[in-house]
Amino acid sequence: MSAESTGAAPRAQQLGLIACEACGLILQAADDECPGYCPRCDEPLRRRKRDSLRRSWAFLIAAAMLYIPANLLPIMRTQQLLERYDSTILSGVALLWHNGAYDLAIIVFVASIMVPVLKILSLAILLITTQRGSQQHARERTRLYRIVDYIGHWSMLDVFVVVLLVTLVHFGALAQVQPLPGVIAFGAVVVLTMMASMSFDPRLIWDASAARSDPEPQSCATRP
């Protein structure tokens, strides 16, 4: 059914328009099956990201699996004279709260606990609804993706907050602080959620015909 018959605004694909994923230039595609290369930045043009849903699921599942050890494993070891402490993110938040640093405790809890969970849940909702071909609340889901994508630009702030926690908890004049495997797991969660967001193609939300599978790009001749 055409856009004119339904009264809806025509889509870029119906008008033969394509946007460069690198620089954002919108241009008229000469060949719909093999759009070619961007005249501005020389990046290959694609109607949709290749294997978008599969790659996003892979990164998201890996991030969800690593989120558990990221919070259960200690992120640092502090030695003070004859005493030694192993601290997780949650124990660090509890200690900051107990010592009266309520603002820092809230910052660490939101950035290191709540934000990764919300990102994982939001991406899971987007992937499930898109894979099932849901046509409901497309605008809201697009806005949700934009929020997740925007937060992704600040995702490394989570790691910075953990580093801040390392410097604050049990830190004294005669203290020694060592990072532990929990930091690696947490950093991997941050990176994997960023990659899951970058791999997801929000245009699939609006593709009713591609609701249950990614559209496979047509094979094009290699560039000379």
Among 62, 55, 17, 37, residue whose Cα is nearest residue 9: 17
Cβ-Cβ contacts under 8 Å for 32 (sequence gap 6 or more): 16, 47
Q: Which two tokens stand for residue 40?
A: 């501005």
Q: Is 96 exposed, middle or buried (0-12, 13-18, 19+ CB in 10 A)?
A: buried
0.85 exceeded by the pTM? no
At CA 170, angle to CA 166 and CA 173, rounded to 5?
105
Ranges in the chain, pLDDT < 70 = 1-16, 24, 29-35, 80-81, 153, 155-159, 161-177, 208-224
At CA 161, angle to CA 157 and CA 162, rounded to 5?
120
pLDDT digits (tens, 9 = 90+) for 165-216: 666 655 555 566 677 788 888 889 989 999 999 899 888 888 754 444 444 4
